[in-house]
């Protein structure tokens, strides 16, 4: 007696999860988006907890820079301001608030580049989350690091004799303005981190941008002591606008022009670079 063997079909394989497309992102609601950002912020914060050395730049940079510039340049520049080293403290601390934001923003680019190299970002892109939530979470954590650095910077300033000649609300306004501008700069460095091949390349290109902007500004010395061509550069330098606005908010003086210029720069930088960074993140292999 013969038996007939019926052909059996191979078990169907479950389809592999596909990355979220741009259309899928549009269907993710605001509440879900905020939940994803919160989860990613917690993930990034836990990374800092597991690697406390990553906070050394935030903790030490404000102390080193304050002592360095106050005690190296404070005597000569303070005299040119019509005072002494104590006068220079009130001049340079608001300027250093602008400098802190730019230096910390650079760390976002190297961090994104490193995450891609380790394959972390590839895993994120297979999840049903908006692409922007990954990058926004990075920025939120870095804003927290900026707050810590700014608090230490102001503490050093008060120890060295800085005075608030306006009000506490004006001081908080200066801090808030620095955070807004620093957050806009982070999009530039995220785009740079997504474009360059290595973290070292990101740092190298970033330093080429940072040095002229920082030292060709009113952060460390009044532009009136600079040659004419450099004064023209400082007039359009966004770091000069931020430093002047923070200085006026803390020491008193006309603040409207510098503040609106800073907010305008921040809005323009974000509107241009944020969509480019998200698009680059979506396409990067």
Distance CA 247, CA 86 (A): 15
Distance CA 102, CA 96 (A): 10
Residues in Cβ contact with 69 at an 8 Å cutoff, skipping those fewer than 6 apart = 92, 96, 220
pLDDT grade for 63, boundaries at 50, 70 and 90: very high
Note the helical H segments in 119-167: 120-125, 131-159
**What average pLDDT does the segment 170-198 reach?**
91
Give the pLDDT score at 125: 67
Show me where the domains of the chain are located.
29-283
Q: Which two tokens stand for residue 65?
A: 């820079």
| Portion of the chain with pLDDT greater than 90, in percent | 33
263 burial (CB, 10 Å; 0-12 / 13-18 / 19+) is: middle
pLDDT grade for 177, boundaries at 50, 70 and 90: very high
Q: What is the pLDDT of residues 153-168, one digit of tens each?
A: 999 999 998 999 999 9
- Look at 191 and 283; give whichever has higher pLDDT: 191
Looking at 51-111, which runs of residues are DSSP E strands? none
* Residues 157/243, Cβ–Cβ less than 8 Å: no
The residue written with tokens 């979220």 in the block is 20
Q: What is the pLDDT of residues 5-22, one digit of tens each?
A: 444 444 444 444 444 444
Q: What is the pLDDT of residues 201-226, one digit of tens each?
A: 888 888 888 888 888 898 988 888 88
Q: Which two tokens stand for residue 21?
A: 């497309």
Q: Which two tokens stand for residue 108?
A: 């976002």
pTM of the model: 0.82
Give the pLDDT score at 122: 66
């Amino acid at each position: 007696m013969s038996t007939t063997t019926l052909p059996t079909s191979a078990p169907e394989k479950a389809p592999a999860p596909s990355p979220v497309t741009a259309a899928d992102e549009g269907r993710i609601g605001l509440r879900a988006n905020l939940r994803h950002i919160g989860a990613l912020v917690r993930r990034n914060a836990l990374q800092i907890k597991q690697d406390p050395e990553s906070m050394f730049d935030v903790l030490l940079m404000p102390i080193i820079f304050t002592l360095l510039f106050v005690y190296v340049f404070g005597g000569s520049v303070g005299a040119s301001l019509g005072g002494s080293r104590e006068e220079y403290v009130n001049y340079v601390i608001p300027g250093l608030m602008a400098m802190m934001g730019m230096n910390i923003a650079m760390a976002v680019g190297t961090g994104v580049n490193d995450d891609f190299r380790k394959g972390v970002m590839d895993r994120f892109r297979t999840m049903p989350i908006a692409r922007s939530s990954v990058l926004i979470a990075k920025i939120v954590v870095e804003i927290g690091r900026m707050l810590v650095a700014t608090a230490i910077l102001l503490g050093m300033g008060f120890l060295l004799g800085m005075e608030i000649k306006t009000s506490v609300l004006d001081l908080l306004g200066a801090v808030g303005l620095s955070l807004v501008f620093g957050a806009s700069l982070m999009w530039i460095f995220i785009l740079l981190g997504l474009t360059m091949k290595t973290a070292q390349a990101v740092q190298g290109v970033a330093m080429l941008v940072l040095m002229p902007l920082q030292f060709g500004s009113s952060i460390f010395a009044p532009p009136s002591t600079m040659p004419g061509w450099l004064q023209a550069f400082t007039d359009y330098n966004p770091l000069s606008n931020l430093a002047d606005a923070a200085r006026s908010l803390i020491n008193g003086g006309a603040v409207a022009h510098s503040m609106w210029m800073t907010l305008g720069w921040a809005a323009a930088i974000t509107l241009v670079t944020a969509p480019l960074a998200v698009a680059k993140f979506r396409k990067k292999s």
